[in-house]
Chain A
Amino acid sequence: MREQVNSVLRQLRMQARSVEQEAALGALRYVAHDGERCLLEVKPLLAPLAKEQLLPRIQALLSELVGRPVRVHIRAARSPQQELFPFLPTPEPEEGEGAVGASDPYTFEHFVVGPSNQFAHAAALAVARNPGRHYNPLFLYGAAGLGKTHLLRAIAHAVREQHPTLEVRYLTADTFMAEVVYAIRRDRLQHFKTRFHRIDVLLVDDVQLLAGRERTQEELFHIFNTLHETGKQIALAADRPPNELLQLDERLRNRFGWGLVVDVQPPDLETRIAILQRKSHLEGVDLPYDAAVILAENAGPSVRELHGLLTRLLAFASLSGTEITTALAQKVVASSAKGVDRPVTIERIQEVVASFFGLRVQDLRSPRRSRAIATARQIAMYLCRQDLGASFPYIGQCFGGRDHTTVIHAVTAIERRQAVDPELRKVIQSLRGMARSGEGSEPSPWKTSSA
């Protein structure tokens, strides 16, 4: 398998469409295979690009070469230590638990404070210093990519350092839900409760994801009460304040508002520059001030987007062996704005379609069926199928867990309507263009459950 992978990589390298792609293809390395799956590794900086732009073609060519379908997985190489069971699922440090170690980027030290997040930062710091004493619960809210997760994990990190005897647990609402389901299925609910009651500092991220999950909300409600009564610290984060979490049980919403509710605002220009400088310093790169200003002025409101631009700039510089200059920064900004090879993903399509129809991405994924929403949803599904070739069940999953037959129906319906409706054809054409370039939408505040 190693030979075949290498030959596929060589072949693709000759057709690479950008310096980055070429570099990623050169850096990808075969790790293991088990008949149907094949695992490749690449340095963390290049992993997102490899997954988005290269994986499908590698998979197709490899399957062809081997003569049977092979599922290719690409992951970021984190350690030179090789593994005995490479296919055993490893928890991603970005999600869920996260190994908190020397390399943990989510600490208070690495958090850049500005007027937009000063209050949230101070509250989180107070909680970390004296868990359970002030602000219980602490509730952080704000749009995606503004640092809520960073603050929660910084609390976890700081508590572990300053109060090593305390039991700290950071998890996303998703993970919590999975654990509830697991406990129910395995009939281990009592054990599950005991484990959570033991926690001294509980940090739950993305609580808006609990919408509609009654059983999970119920468990969280009980855990919340027990911990709160015994003076244990709870901190939560969501994309909106507690009183707007309408799909959550009222008892839970109430409790979320008992302590301190703080919002995290998008950073101003100065803070964004400071963030870029801090981040590049962490990467061990010297980012000239002027280049930082160019990136900061051109990125969207989210810090994640800011990091994205910076990563692109650093990758560009390191791969082409040039120095980071204002000219290079301008080039990167320009190419991102034009979206030269902005990858089209299901989320991207959902964002563009939602914003075109004046809806929220959430509406597309919701069970709502009003006419406007239903049409937009069908168009988005159609684009996901036509332009991305995603499977019907997968598309269904990305649209709020709909059945694959619903997707098939949507795609056929749009195909049929397009044939007779030139107006619709035009709309779809322009949506396609928007998805490919960077225009037409704000980044979605909703986290997608990547499957």
Chain B
Amino acid sequence: MECRMTKDDLLGALYLAQGIVDRRVTLPVLAHVLIQVGNRDATILATDQEIGLRRRCGAAVTKRGAATANARVLYEIIRSLSDGEIELRSDERHHLEVKQGKSQFRIVGIEPSEFPAMPAVPDVKSKAQLSVDAEVLRRMLELTLFAASSDEARPALCGVCFERRDGLLHVVASDGHRLSLVSRALKGVRPEPGVILPRKAVTEMMKVLDGLSGEVQLTFGSGVVFLTAGDVELAMRTVQADFPSYEAVIPRETAHLLTIANGPWSQALRRVAVLAAEQTHPVRLTFDAGKVELSARNPELGEAHEEVEANYSGETFTIGFNARYLLDVLSLFPGDSTVEVGLQDDESPTVFRVPEEPEFLYVLMPMRLS
């Protein structure tokens, strides 16, 4: 194969490939990208056998064909070249030649046919496909991914679940201690009930969506979900597990309601949490008329105490939370937004909402205070 491509195009594709290729290299070919050159364009492919990336780029083609190269090496080379055109050529010994001006590289490749086949977007009716604005989807993922678990022993929780119910698309994640849910009415929604995509897939999806605008497509195949966004196609294997039924843990009504300004509350939490015990970061919150008192104590380090103004008129009430779980969610909203906290008692799930973004909901389990 032989072609010319711009640095921008190549680098964009290789950047996405970086996140996907298998760093632990079981099959050497999985550390490589495959460059397929067609009649008038080139496609760059990368996979770890769980996620597959296919990115089409414009190319001035001299000769069709394919070549592979180590993804990291190629990325480093392309990144260090100057802007403008780059020549790519492969020889019969599967070397890839990269040329720009007086710079010349010959990279060892692998027989292109060894590159694993990638699933193709199935030809499905529009029902299994969903069109969504790239920014909306990205935000939905951002609002949920952080709550997913990284404990691989519980695969169902190690990702983000997509599900249609009551005419809405629900995107939800939980690590067993908290749950983050975004529900939106979208056109043409029909994922199978409870499709889970692993953390890595969602992270890569967010990278693809970054900076993109306009409609993108999610297609739900059997065991695979495809994201089609402009020139990029991502095939993601789903997690073979059932997401726990979470409806029941979302409190419908709560006894106490508090509204509080996000900024001052987050800042106070950050300060107080410095003295919270490591690992679980327990912080004690006492709700009182017109205020919340935050405190933390660590027998080895000392104590912290702070009061923040809040809109609250119920009875005085104390509850413990992991400060990190609170800050994780508060940091996703602007400082001048208002947070609504619905509380039942100090052992029941607590609901957090932000009126500016009513599609979102966060449920957090308290900590026992000794």
List chain A positions with a Cβ less than 8 A from chain B. Answer: 79-85, 88-91, 96-97, 99, 101-102, 167, 186, 188, 191, 194, 197-198, 200
Q: What residues of A have a CB within 8 angstroms of the CB of B249 in the complex?
A: 84-85
Q: Would you call A82 and B368 a contact (CB within 8 A)?
A: yes
Q: What residues of B have a CB within 8 angstroms of the CB of A99 in the complex?
A: 151
- B304 CB, min distance to chain A CBs, angstroms: 18
Q: Would you call A83 and B282 a contact (CB within 8 A)?
A: no
CB within 8 A of A84: which of B174, B280, B368, B370? Answer: B174
CB within 8 A of B367: which of A81, A186, A191, A197? Answer: A81
Tell me the bound Cα distance from A101 to B151 in angstroms.
Answer: 13
Is B363 close to A, CB under 8 A?
A: yes
Q: Using A96-B153, A197-B26 as known contacts, say yes or no to A84 and B240 having CB atoms under 8 A apart.
A: no
Tell me the bound Cα distance from A436 to B345 in angstroms.
Answer: 46
Tell me the bound Cα distance from A97 to B157 in angstroms.
Answer: 16
Q: Using A88-B244, A96-B153, A186-B240 as known contacts, say yes or no to A80 and B24 having CB atoms under 8 A apart.
A: no
Q: What residues of A have a CB within 8 angstroms of the CB of B177 in the complex?
A: 81-84
CB within 8 A of B282: which of A80, A84, A197? Answer: A80
Q: Would you call A80 and B320 a contact (CB within 8 A)?
A: yes
Q: What residues of B have a CB within 8 angstroms of the CB of A200 in the complex?
A: 24
Tell me the bound Cα distance from A90 to B27 in angstroms.
Answer: 32
Tell me the bound Cα distance from A83 to B364 in angstroms.
Answer: 9
Q: Would you call B280 and A198 a contact (CB within 8 A)?
A: no
Tell me the bound Cα distance from A89 to B157 in angstroms.
Answer: 12
CB within 8 A of B366: which of A82, A88, A97, A198? Answer: A82
Is B246 close to A, CB under 8 A?
A: yes
Tell me the bound Cα distance from A84 to B363 in angstroms.
Answer: 9
Q: What residues of B have a CB within 8 angstroms of the CB of A102 in the complex?
A: 279
Q: Would you call B49 and A84 a contact (CB within 8 A)?
A: no
- A269 CB, min distance to chain B CBs, angstroms: 37
Q: What residues of B have a CB within 8 angstroms of the CB of A167 in the complex?
A: 24
Tell me the bound Cα distance from A363 to B18 in angstroms.
Answer: 55
Tell me the bound Cα distance from A82 to B152 in angstroms.
Answer: 20
Interface residues of B in 81-97 (CB under 8 A from A): none
Please report the number of residue pairs spanning A and B whose Cβ atoms sit closer than 8 angstroms.
66
Tell me the bound Cα distance from A167 to B22 in angstroms.
Answer: 13
- A361 CB, min distance to chain B CBs, angstroms: 30
Q: Would you call B367 and A82 a contact (CB within 8 A)?
A: yes
- B187 CB, min distance to chain A CBs, angstroms: 31
Given A79-B280, A82-B366, 15 more pairs with CB closer than 8 A: A80-B369, A80-B370, A81-B365, A81-B367, A82-B177, A82-B368, A83-B177, A83-B365, A84-B174, A84-B177, A84-B179, A96-B153, A99-B151, A191-B49, A194-B27
Residue of A nearest to B24 (CB): A198
Tell me the bound Cα distance from A88 to B368 in angstroms.
Answer: 20
CB within 8 A of B365: which of A82, A90, A91, A198? Answer: A82
CB within 8 A of B49: which of A90, A91, A96, A194? Answer: A194
- B363 CB, min distance to chain A CBs, angstroms: 7
Tell me the bound Cα distance from A37 to B349 in angstroms.
Answer: 20
Tell me the bound Cα distance from A353 to B157 in angstroms.
Answer: 45
- A234 CB, min distance to chain B CBs, angstroms: 16
Tell me the bound Cα distance from A88 to B22 in angstroms.
Answer: 31
Is B139 close to A, CB under 8 A?
A: no
- B327 CB, min distance to chain A CBs, angstroms: 15
Q: What residues of A have a CB within 8 angstroms of the CB of B365 in the complex?
A: 81-84
| 25 A-B interface contacts by CB (under 8 A) | A80-B280, A80-B368, A81-B177, A82-B177, A82-B347, A82-B365, A82-B366, A82-B367, A82-B368, A83-B176, A83-B365, A84-B179, A84-B249, A84-B365, A85-B174, A88-B154, A88-B176, A90-B153, A90-B154, A91-B153, A97-B153, A99-B151, A101-B279, A194-B26, A194-B27
Q: What residues of B have a CB within 8 angstroms of the CB of A97 in the complex?
A: 152-153
- B351 CB, min distance to chain A CBs, angstroms: 12
Q: What residues of B have a CB within 8 angstroms of the CB of A91 in the complex?
A: 153-154
Is B322 close to A, CB under 8 A?
A: yes
As a 0/1 sequence over residues 23 to 54 of chain B, the CB contacts with chain A under 8 angstroms (1 = contact) are: 01011000000000000000000000100000
- B156 CB, min distance to chain A CBs, angstroms: 8
- B312 CB, min distance to chain A CBs, angstroms: 23
Q: What residues of A have a CB within 8 angstroms of the CB of B363 in the complex?
A: 84
Q: Would you call A85 and B176 a contact (CB within 8 A)?
A: yes
Residue of B nearest to A190 (CB): B49
As a 0/1 sequence over residues 178 to 205 of chain B, the CB contacts with chain A under 8 angstroms (1 = contact) are: 1100000000000000000000000000
Tell me the bound Cα distance from A84 to B174 in angstroms.
Answer: 9
Q: What residues of B have a CB within 8 angstroms of the CB of A81 in the complex?
A: 177, 280, 322, 365, 367
Tell me the bound Cα distance from A82 to B178 in angstroms.
Answer: 9
Q: Using A80-B282, A198-B26 as known contacts, say yes or no to A188 and B240 having CB atoms under 8 A apart.
A: yes
- A79 CB, min distance to chain B CBs, angstroms: 6
Residue of B nearest to A102 (CB): B279
Interface centre among A99, A102, A194 (most CB of B within 10 A): A194
Residue of A nearest to B278 (CB): A102
Tell me the bound Cα distance from A80 to B320 in angstroms.
Answer: 9
Q: What residues of A have a CB within 8 angstroms of the CB of B24 in the complex?
A: 167, 198, 200
Interface residues of B in 155-181 (CB under 8 A from A): 156-157, 174, 176-179
Interface centre among B153, B244, B249 (most CB of A within 10 A): B153
Tell me the bound Cα distance from A248 to B367 in angstroms.
Answer: 48
Tell me the bound Cα distance from A89 to B178 in angstroms.
Answer: 16
Q: What residues of B have a CB within 8 angstroms of the CB of A96 in the complex?
A: 153
- A176 CB, min distance to chain B CBs, angstroms: 14
Which 7 A-B residue pairings sit nearest by Cβ, starting from the closest? A91-B153, A82-B365, A80-B368, A197-B26, A80-B367, A85-B244, A198-B26
Q: Would you call A84 and B369 a contact (CB within 8 A)?
A: no
Tell me the bound Cα distance from A442 to B128 in angstroms.
Answer: 63
Q: What residues of B have a CB within 8 angstroms of the CB of A85 in the complex?
A: 174, 176, 244, 246, 249
Q: What residues of B have a CB within 8 angstroms of the CB of A194 in the complex?
A: 26-27, 49
Interface centre among B24, B152, B179, B280 (most CB of A within 10 A): B24
Q: Would you call A84 and B176 a contact (CB within 8 A)?
A: yes
Residue of B nearest to A96 (CB): B153
Tell me the bound Cα distance from A200 to B153 in angstroms.
Answer: 19
- A232 CB, min distance to chain B CBs, angstroms: 10
Residue of B nearest to A41 (CB): B368
- B118 CB, min distance to chain A CBs, angstroms: 15
Tell me the bound Cα distance from A82 to B240 in angstroms.
Answer: 26
As a 0/1 sequence over residues 317 to 360 of chain B, the CB contacts with chain A under 8 angstroms (1 = contact) are: 00010100000000000000000000000010100000000000
Tell me the bound Cα distance from A101 to B282 in angstroms.
Answer: 18
- A150 CB, min distance to chain B CBs, angstroms: 20
Tell me the bound Cα distance from A422 to B163 in angstroms.
Answer: 67
Q: What residues of A have a CB within 8 angstroms of the CB of B157 in the complex?
A: 88
Q: What residues of B have a CB within 8 angstroms of the CB of A79 in the complex?
A: 280
Interface residues of B in 200-236 (CB under 8 A from A): none
- B205 CB, min distance to chain A CBs, angstroms: 20
Q: What residues of A have a CB within 8 angstroms of the CB of B156 in the complex?
A: 88
Q: Would you call B349 and A84 a contact (CB within 8 A)?
A: yes
Tell me the bound Cα distance from A102 to B279 in angstroms.
Answer: 10
Q: Using A79-B280, A188-B240, A198-B26 as known contacts, say yes or no to A84 and B367 having CB atoms under 8 A apart.
A: no
Tell me the bound Cα distance from A79 to B179 in angstroms.
Answer: 18
Q: What residues of B have a CB within 8 angstroms of the CB of A84 in the complex?
A: 174, 176-179, 246, 249, 349, 363, 365
